[in-house]
Amino acid sequence: MEKDSNKAAAVSFFQKYLNVNDDEIAVFGDSSNDIPMFELTAYSFAMRNAPSDIRQKAGRITKEDNDHNGAMKTLIELTAP
């Protein structure tokens, strides 16, 4: 992995590439390397089973954990009419 590459850089790259706003992106994470990514978007989610310090950094917490499709279930809720 390149020295300056991280998830936040990838999200930022695709945001610019796809020309989408902060409020059109949802990010999910469960570890300290996800914190910079949480700061980029209006919808940042820590997984239910993430350590408490990580959950405190995210805007929201998923209802389910990694083992129970927490990210997918949250995306379905977000996009439901």
Sketch out the chain's domains with CATH numbers: 7-79 (3.40.50.1000)
Quick count: other Cβ atoms within 10 Å of Cβ 50? 24
Between CA 68 and CA 74, with CA 70 as vertex, the angle to 5 degrees is 140
Q: What is the pLDDT of residues 14-55, one digit of tens each?
A: 999 999 998 899 999 999 989 999 999 989 999 999 999 999
Q: Which residue has the tokens 């570890």?
A: 31
The SS3 call for residue 48 is coil
pTM: 0.87
Q: What is the pLDDT of residue 6?
A: 79
CA distances from 35 to 14, 41, 44 (A): 18, 11, 9
The mean pLDDT value for 54-73 works out to 96
How far, in whole angstroms, is CA 22 from its chain's centroid? 12
The mean pLDDT value for 53-58 works out to 96
